[in-house]
Amino acid sequence: MTPALDVLAGRATPPFLALTTTRDRDWRWVACMAVAGPLATIGMAILVAVALLVSDHFGLSLNAFGGDLPNLPRLLKSSVYILEVGIGLAAAALGLLLAARLIFKRPLRSWITAAPRFRLSLLAWGVAAGVVAIAVLNLISAFAPTTGSEAPILDPAYPVKDRLAYVAASSLGFLIAAWAEEVVFRGYLLQQVSAFTRRLWLVLLINGLVFALFHLEFDPGALAARALLGMVFAWATLRLGGLEFGVGAHAAQNLGVALFGEVLLPTSPQTTVKLADLGYELVLAVTIVACVEWLYRRRTLAVPALA
C-alpha cells in the first residue's frame, strides 16, 4: 500500500496517470486537441439537439429544454429533462474521447480505468458511498432549522406512480451524466494536466476549479462546494485507478439533490450555497474520502500505485 502523502508528494505515480505517453506532453498534439476536442463535443451535442427537434415531426414531443411538454406533470417533465441532459452530456463526452483517441493514439479505456476492465463492483461501491454520505447529511440536517419545501420524493402532492417514474428516470439520467462528467474532468482533463506536472495537489486543485466553473453558476458557495467535490472525485480516481467509484458516487450525490432537494427543470434557479453551509459539503467530502481509503486498503479493488 502506498501512503496518501507519498502520492500527493509525487513519490509514487498513480496508475491512472501512468497511462499517459510522450504524445500527451507534446504541445503540438495538445494544441490539436484544444481545437478538435471542443469541436467534437459541440458536434455530438448538436446531433442530440437535432434529434430532439426532429422528433417533433414524428409526433413525439420530447424536447423538455424547449418547453415542448406543457401538459406533462411536473415530475414527469423533470424526468424527461434529466434523461435528456444525461444523454446530451454523454454524447459530448464521447465526442471528446473519440477526438483524444484519434490525436493521442491511445485506447478509449485508458481515459476510463487502469484496470483490465471496467469494474462494476467499484461503481456499486461508489453508489453506496454516495448514499451513505447523503444519509449522514440528511441526519445532520434533521436537527437543523430549515425553511425549504418538502422533498419531491416524499411530497404527497405528487402521485406515487409519478414519484416512482421520477426515481427511475433520475437514477438512469444521473448515472449517464456522471459518467460523462467523470470522463471529461477526471478522465481526460486529469491526465492532461498531470502530463505537465507531478505536483498532484496542483492537479487536484485545477481539476476542482475547472469542474466548478464548467457549471456556469458563479455563486461563491456553489463554486466552493463543486470545487471541493471535484477534488474529491479526482482523488478517488487517482487512489483507486479509474473512474468507476467516482461515477457511482457522483451519480448518487446528484440523485440525492433531485430526490431530497428541488425538482430539476430548465427554469430551475441557479444553485446557491451559503458559505456558512459549506460544512455540509465538507462532511460529504470527508465521508467519500474515508470510503475511498477503506476501499484502497482492501487491495482487491484498487490498482496499486507505481513507485
Mind giving me the DSSP string for 129-143?
Answer: HHHHHHHHHHHHHTT
Nine-digit cell string for 269? 434557479
Tell me the average pLDDT across 114-125.
93
- Give the dihedral sign, CA 114/289/119/92: negative
pLDDT category of residue 134 using cuts at 50, 70 and 90: confident
pLDDT tens, residue by residue, 11-56: 778 999 999 999 999 999 999 999 999 999 999 989 988 887 776 6
Contacts of 197 (CB under 8 A, 6+ apart): 203
Residue whose grid cell is 475511498: 292
pLDDT tens, residue by residue, 200-256: 999 999 999 999 999 887 788 888 889 999 999 999 999 999 999 999 999 999 998
Asked if residues 242 and 108 have their Cβ atoms less than 8 Å apart, the reply is no
* Integer Cα distance of 217 and 132 in angstroms: 27
In the beta sheet, which residues pair with residue 306?
13
In the beta sheet, which residues pair with residue 113?
242
pLDDT category of residue 73 using cuts at 50, 70 and 90: confident
Percent of the chain at pLDDT above 70?
85
